[in-house]
Amino acid sequence: MVQQVTHNIKVSVDTHFEGAIITDIRKQYAFSYEIVIENNSNQKVQLLSRYWLIKDALNKTEIVEGKGVIGRQPVLAPGEIHTYKSGCLLTAPFGSMQGHYIMTTPFAEIEVGIPLFKLSVPFAMN
């Protein structure tokens, strides 16, 4: 698990390899990740949008941006935690993801970092 704290918001990420998807044209590797967002600040925050930079070992880079996470824009009071699961497909057996969330507080819009985390097929780690 990797973690990053920005503006007293802690983002923790845990990853899992789900398996390979093989078709006549290509092979893809499916990964899931669980993200825990902890509001350790003294003010309410709302997650508005996300930005992801996804890279694989074949130098393929993808940028994913959008509102909220998995269709939601959660509001976290001080001390609250929001957890969600999602996933991605890579064309190589390993890669990485990192990014940030845009959140709003009662006083400002802030950028909260999502730490760099590796996606790796277990047999590819040796």
Domain of 21, CATH number, reads 2.60.40.1470
In a domain, 123, yes or no: no
Residue 52: is its pLDDT beyond 90?
yes
In a domain, 122, yes or no: no
pLDDT at 86: 97
In a domain, 108, yes or no: yes
Token digits of residue 95: 């890669």
In a domain, 27, yes or no: yes
In total, how many domains does the chain have?
1
Q: Which helix (H) or strand (E) holds 4?
A: strand 2-6
> What is the span of the domain harbouring residue 61?
2-114
pLDDT at 23: 84
Paired with 73 in beta bridges are none
Contact 74, 67 (CB under 8 A): no
Paired with 15 in beta bridges are 33
What percentage of the chain carries pLDDT values higher than 90? 90
Residue 125: is its pLDDT beyond 70?
no
E-strand ranges in 7-123 read 9-22, 27-39, 45-56, 61-67, 75-76, 81-90, 94-104, 109-120
In a domain, 126, yes or no: no
* pLDDT tens digits, 59-118: 899 999 999 999 999 999 999 999 999 999 999 999 999 999 999 999 999 999 999 999
In a domain, 19, yes or no: yes
pLDDT at 66: 96
Please give the model's pTM, rounded to 2 decimal places. Answer: 0.92
In a domain, 37, yes or no: yes
In a domain, 40, yes or no: yes
Closest to 30 measured CA to CA, from 85, 100, 84: 85
